[in-house]
Amino acid sequence: MAIPDYTKVYPRTGDTQTVYLKNVVNDPAIHIGAFTIYHDFVHDPRDFQKNNVLYHYPINRDHLRIGKFCSIACGARFLFNSANHTMGSLSNYTFPIFYEAWNHGMAPTEAWDNKGDIVIGNDVWIGYEAVILAGVTIGDGAVIGTRAVVTKDVPSYTIVGGVPAYPIRRRFPPETIDALIELQWWDWPLEQIAEGIQFIQSGDIKSLRKLADCRA
């Protein structure tokens, strides 16, 4: 089986709506794993950094981390800390960022609550126009439903949906989830992944585990 070239921008011939995301992002605070794809039929998918990673300003030193083999649908957005007006103030108005107008001496970062990085695991599917908020960690193999607003961490191999997003169900029985977390097939050499694709696609966890044992 052929090993795909993950250094290309477009994984499929003639499809300019889907990109390997790692190859179109140049912000050092955005970390994308190999083979992760983004599809956009509204805007140029190469503009993901501008259109989909929002309120991501260097002053906060926050990071977006997305693992390998993720699938991100059109319009999914990642909202960072500067979108959060602080809840500790008596006013919703962002006085601290208007330090020139008011000469109050406060730092601009006092205008919002800093909840930390956004971390997306491997093999995660993020649905159409879903929104992921600052401070959220999404586990490996999770599924984020269409237009869900994710405000809390999502466990591995869990499907969530709604506003705010809530757990709908686990994707597999606990023993299968445990095996997948242990195998971490996304970190295998590409030749081994290619050999195991049919097992992955068909849900044959026993054969996938056997392949891992043979390669060990």
Of the candidates 93, 94, 134, 131, the one whose C-alpha atom is nearest the C-alpha of residue 116 is 134
- Phi, psi at 59, each rounded to 5°: -60, -30
Buried b (16+ CB within 10 A) or exposed e, 181-208: eebebbebeeeebebbeebbeeeebeeb
Would you call 85 a catalytic residue per the annotation? yes
Residue with tokens 């509204």: 42
CB 73 within 8 A of CB 39: yes
Given 3-state DSSP classes, what are the helix, strand and coil percentages for the chain, each rounded to the nearest 5? Answer: 30, 20, 50
Q: How far is CA 50 from CA 16, 55, 58, 81, in A?
A: 18, 10, 14, 16
- Reduced to 3 states (helix: H, G, I; strand: E, B; else coil), residue 45 is helix
Catalytic-labelled residue, pool 31, 39, 85, 104: 85
131, two tokens? 């929104």
Active site residues: 85
